[in-house]
Structure 1
């Protein structure tokens, strides 16, 4: 049973406000009374509320973290990195899920602000330009992960998505593929836009064009990758290489290709993005562009702590690395 300040006041024979002042070390309470109240509170098993302390001090030792869904393996690794570093510095983390819905994301950020968190991290934001008006009302720093923005008062930790898109596409071209398809993520996601841009630039370097018939949008999940790949397979000629927005999308695409009797990588080579743990265990194991997910979470917390302390910070763009597995290792011997 949770012990309240009112119960302590009743046992001590003093007012609610006197107990509150004593627990907050107020000089307005006589020392002997304060000691008696604090001793009684300890005996009764009273646990102070972080939110209650925040109401008194107008802040908490808590960071807010808004994610699309904790079920996403990319997100879960980012959360682990952020939470570990936050706890090492004495901060707790308040986690909210937006379901990749912009209005839910905004509502979560507002709720965290109302609960007086001292900083907010948002992964894979879907809000875009709606952040401007919200920032004008907020007095806490925001760091975005995987969403590059130039707004004043917003910082980000991101992968170089354009470079990652080029890495994936150049690899497909080096193993002899020329009809490259791309399954994108959410249309408003800057990460998806950057990866497509890198793919198109790599094709341009080889005097190749990205066909609209081999470009589809999905939702960043396995079901979206499955549906997008199945639709793409109705076109002729088929692509012989497929770059997917993330690994979950690629895993869904692999299932669709298999059900349509296509062999990976012999008929279509497939590349994902993220290098989640599952990527090494798909059939065949998935070639992918690895993101330093734990480091991204840790770096976002480092930036928040610096901002909270009044130190200047700069947004960070990291580079991914290509991890080659059997989904692109064809008879040609792969990318050496």
Structure 2
């Protein structure tokens, strides 16, 4: 007995009925079944009704994969992320998914763990699945990856990081404006010595945020001590170690700005273990406004990155390319950040008043 390679299985383990099974049950050809289910006019109304009734009885559903192979389409969008566990990522994914779902397309999510070989394997796999478009979040495609995407003629949108040497539609945030807001706010509170924990050196957004910090230090005439700046890699551990190193400087700062919220949370933990009060001893400001930042035990002041809107904008750009509604050169959508003030920031403690020396006259009187 020949094996039907189109057969699947149902929840109870039984073979899923195929178009051949339905055609045999109706006593018509598979082509007639296909035309009847597609509501084509070349099928008699009675036949169409019979096929639909029998399909419902048998639990038959047309294979989208098979239809896609016939038409050369997948109705699928690929989304490649670096770390799905990063609290920043899910809201962006939701923004993409909302738009893709309304367009009645499938979303295929791939997590690379920021591993180059894994990223390339996923890009190849997505292109093999004949995806209609690709979104890459907070990662840079290699030249070989880009050649694959260009050869497949698949529309691409990059989010937060562009690919050097290549142009594609891009969605990001004004990183300079965000850090500038944080610095101006802290200076307005009276802070003059402000530390900074940097992000990944391979990230354009991290470089932009650090550049905005150095510009603010110069513009406000703040202390530019190199010991106030520490490297980070966007995780809590680097925020912890960065804050400890900064607070170990000869003159500790009265405020710390972290290039993302995860590092800011790490800094909060380190300051707590060092016996320092936030914001009484040190103010802390993050960047991204992840959901955890609003927790009452953390109450983190931060720069809001409109994450869901970022995913929404990326998906809309991609669909416009797919539908041919946008044929102009690649576009950049830069979203505006905003400052969210919470309880982790406040004015610096007043410097202790210097002890005044007693005058000679006062000293003589005290000796009498």
Q: Please, what TM-score do these two structures have when normalized by structure 2? A: 0.78
Does structure 1 residue 324 correspond to structure 2 residue 341?
Answer: yes
Contact 1:68–1:100, Cα closer than 8 Å, also in 2: yes
Deviates more, 1:299-308 or 1:120-129: 120-129
Task: Give the aligned length.
Answer: 333
Deviation at 1:197, TM superposition (A): 0.9
Residue equivalent to 2:363: none
Distance 1:205 1:134, change over 3 A: farther
Task: Measure the CA separation in 1 of the matches of 2:266 and 2:20.
Answer: 56
Q: Where does 1:255-274 land on structure 2 (aligned, <5 Å)? A: 255-274=269-288
In the other structure, the counterpart of 2:157 is 143
Does structure 1 conserve the Cα–Cα contact (< 8 Å) formed by 2:140 and 2:163?
no
What displacement does 1:191 show? Answer: 1.2
Aligned to 1:315: 332
SS in 2 for 1:239: coil
The CA RMSD measured in Å over matched residues stands at: 3.2
Which residue is 1:187 aligned to?
Answer: 201
Correspondence 1:1-336 to 2 at 5 A:
2-4=16-18, 40-127=54-141, 131-149=145-163, 151-208=165-222, 210-281=224-295, 283-312=297-326, 314-330=331-347
Query: Does the CA contact (< 8 Å) of 1:247 and 1:288 recur in 2?
Result: yes
- SS of 1:73's partner is coil
Task: Say if 2:194 and 2:256, in contact at 8 Å, map to a contact too.
Answer: yes
Query: For residues 48 and 152 of structure 1, do their structure 2 counterparts lie closer, same or farther at Cα, with a shift above 3 Å needed?
Result: farther
CA distance, structure 1, for counterparts of residue 339 and residue 124 of structure 2: 38
Describe the superposition over 1:80-122 as per-residue Cα deviations: whole angstroms up to 9, x where unpaired.
1111122122222111112233332332222222111211112
Q: Is the 8 A contact 2:140 2:162 kept in 1?
A: no
CA deviation vs aligned residue, 1:39-76 (integer Å, no higher than 9, x gap): 65543223333333222222122211122233323211
C-alpha distance in 2, partners of 1:167/1:184?
17
- Distance 1:35-1:169 versus aligned 2 partners, 3 A rule: same
Aligned position for 2:356: none
> How far did residue 3 of structure 1 move?
3.5
CA distance 1:65–1:132, change in 2 (3 Å): closer
Q: Is the 8 A contact 2:26 2:51 kept in 1?
A: yes
Any gaps of 5 or more consecutive residues in structure 1?
Answer: none
Structure of higher CA gyration radius: 2
* Aligned-pair CA distance for 1:2: 3.5
| Alpha-carbon offset, residue 149 of structure 1 | 4.7
CA contact (8 A) 2:280 2:349 kept: no
- In 1, the alpha carbon distance for the partners of 2:287 and 2:142 equals 22
Q: State the secondary structure of the residue aligned to 1:93.
A: strand
**Contact 2:190 2:347 (C-alpha < 8 Å) held by counterparts:** no
1:156-175 Cα shifts (integer Å, max 9, x gaps): 11001122122222222222
- Cα 1:223–1:150 change in 2 (3 A) is closer
Relative to structure 2, which stretch is displaced further, 50-59 or 298-307? Answer: 50-59
